[in-house]
């Protein structure tokens, strides 16, 4: 599969999911079970993406400058600092640690 | 203009501006992950769903094309909630094929949230369209700017952009951690994903984590008893 195929296929599926909501009979999804699974699915996937992007590289577990950067991001989100500011702070934190030769 | 409509307009515009700002980070991280500027822009134009877009580039960044099937599964699973939003928005949008397709295109977390927070039908409609169209324009412009900027940067680890990618997922996750059940699911999913990483192909850890949500969701372990709104 090429990168273009991946981009187009994934984008069309996600778009189709949105449009489908305006076509299907509402009763199908309004039961609490599917609604709850969908909500928790979002939480689980995002949490897994945080973890994998913080402490793994390829198939290895790697502890490096990303970990303190994410700890900082956690603290800043808890303080309700805006999204884009937190991202810049996390990037700066990792960049500075690497510049200092710490936690490459 | 009614006071309720003015309030809807105000919250729609402020949400649209705030959200559009992080299209910059999406654009930059996407080219850092290995997509080109055009592929990055197609994602923002066609997929137009932040969580799914970040998931796709996150998996391509970690596993390249071998993670492509997992990238499709992950972006699809993250897109399922938009279907639920669409079902909720459907009666508010009303009839008309072209109008419903346009509404579907811009049915995302923010447009649904702003719309459903308004007290009456006219301000719900106004909130939905202004938020959705505002973010669509802003997000695509900042995606392009971020992608062009990312192209100039070169080695992204040097600038800590890999840490920013992880922080972006954390930012999308954070507002969802208001109750015990999602917190437990988040922690369990993170642990499962990391523990299985050395043993399975790239991308699969994310799918493994999704199983946690399905099990907890179907059994409603640690959940409240009343019906989810």
pLDDT at B225: 57
Chain B: closest CA distance from residue A93 (Å): 7
pLDDT exceeds 60 at position B90: yes
pLDDT at A27: 62
The predicted model gives B155-177 an average pLDDT of 85
Best-predicted range by mean pLDDT (A91-95, B11-15, B87-91): A91-95
> Structure pTM?
0.81
User: In the structure encoding, which two tokens stand for residue B19, read together?
Assistant: 């959200």
pLDDT at A99: 92
Those residues with Cβ within 8 angstroms of residue B10's Cβ, 6 or more apart along the chain or in another chain: none
Residue of chain B with shortest Cα separation from A81? B171
Q: Tell me which chain B residues have a C-beta less than 8 angstroms from the C-beta of A7.
A: 35, 39, 42-43, 56
Calculate the average pLDDT of chain B.
89
Query: CB–CB of B163 and A65 under 8 A?
Result: yes
The predicted model gives B81-91 an average pLDDT of 88
Query: Of B107, B108, B111, which is closest to residue B131 (Cα–Cα)?
Result: B111
The DSSP call for residue B226 is S
pLDDT exceeds 60 at position B37: yes
Q: Could you state, in order of their start, the residue ranges of all structural domains in chain B?
A: 3-172, 177-229
CA–CA gap between residue A17 and residue B76 (Å, rounded): 8
Residue A63: CB atoms within 10 Å:
11
Residue pair B132/B20 in contact (Cβ under 8 Å)? The answer is no
pLDDT at A38: 79
Confirm or reject contact between A27 and chain B (CB < 8 A). no
pLDDT at B227: 46
User: In the structure encoding, which two tokens stand for residue B164, read together?
Assistant: 């920013």
B196 burial class (0-12, 13-18, 19+ CB within 10 angstroms)? middle
Residue pair A53/B59 in contact (Cβ under 8 Å)? The answer is no
Helix (H, G, I), strand (E, B) or coil at A7: helix
Radius of gyration of chain A (CA): 19
CA–CA gap between residue B35 and residue B41 (Å, rounded): 10
The DSSP call for residue B158 is G
Which of the residue ranges A3-17, B108-122, B143-157 would you say has the lowest mean pLDDT? B143-157
Q: What is the pLDDT of residues B38-62, one digit of tens each?
A: 999 999 999 999 999 999 999 999 8
Angle between helix B50-63 and A3-20 (nearest 10): 160
Q: Per-residue pLDDT tens, chain A, 104 aa: give them.
A: 899 999 999 999 999 999 999 987 666 556 777 778 878 888 998 899 899 989 998 789 999 999 999 999 999 999 999 888 898 999 999 999 999 988 66
pLDDT at B228: 45
pLDDT at B23: 86
Sequence-ordered strand ranges (E) for B21-117: none
Question: Counting one residue from A and one from B, how many pairs have CB atoms under 8 Å apart?
Answer: 318
The predicted model gives B114-121 an average pLDDT of 89
Candidates A13, A42, A61; nearest CB to B176: A42
pLDDT exceeds 80 at position B154: no
The DSSP call for residue B46 is I
ipTM of the complex as predicted: 0.88
Residue of chain B with shortest Cα separation from A48? B190
Residue of chain B with shortest Cα separation from A19? B104
């Amino acid at each position: 599969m090429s990168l273009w195929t991946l981009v187009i296929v994934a984008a069309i599926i996600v778009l189709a999911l949105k449009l489908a909501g305006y076509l299907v009979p509402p009763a199908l999804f309004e039961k609490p079970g599917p609604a709850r699974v969908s909500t928790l699915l979002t939480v689980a996937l995002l949490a897994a993406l945080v973890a994998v992007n913080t402490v793994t590289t390829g198939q290895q577990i790697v502890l490096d400058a990303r970990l303190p950067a994410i700890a900082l991001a956690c603290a800043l989100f808890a303080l309700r600092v805006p999204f884009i500011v937190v991202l810049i702070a996390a990037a700066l934190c990792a960049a500075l640690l690497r510049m200092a030769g710490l936690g490459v | 203009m009614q006071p309720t409509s003015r309030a809807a307009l105000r919250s729609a515009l402020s949400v649209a501006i705030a959200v559009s700002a992080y299209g910059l980070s999406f654009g930059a991280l996407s080219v850092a992950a290995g997509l080109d500027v055009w592929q990055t822009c197609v994602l923002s134009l066609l997929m137009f769903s932040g969580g799914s877009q970040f998931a796709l580039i996150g998996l391509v960044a970690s596993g390249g094309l071998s993670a492509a099937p997992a990238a499709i599964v992950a972006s699809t699973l993250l897109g399922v909630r938009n279907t639920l939003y669409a079902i909720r928005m459907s009666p508010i949008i009303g009839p008309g094929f072209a109008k419903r397709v346009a509404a579907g295109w811009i049915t995302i977390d923010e447009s649904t949230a702003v719309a459903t927070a308004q007290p009456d039908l006219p301000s719900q409609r106004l909130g939905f369209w202004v938020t959705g169209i505002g973010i669509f324009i802003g997000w695509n412009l900042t995606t392009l700017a971020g992608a062009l900027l990312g192209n100039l940067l070169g080695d992204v680890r040097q600038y800590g952009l890999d840490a920013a990618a992880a922080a972006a997922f954390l930012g999308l996750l954070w507002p969802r951690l208001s109750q015990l059940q999602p917190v437990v699911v988040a922690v369990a999913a993170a642990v499962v994903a990391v523990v299985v990483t050395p043993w399975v192909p790239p991308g699969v850890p994310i799918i493994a984590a999704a199983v946690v949500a399905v099990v907890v969701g179907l059994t409603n372990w640690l959940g409240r008893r009343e019906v989810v709104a």
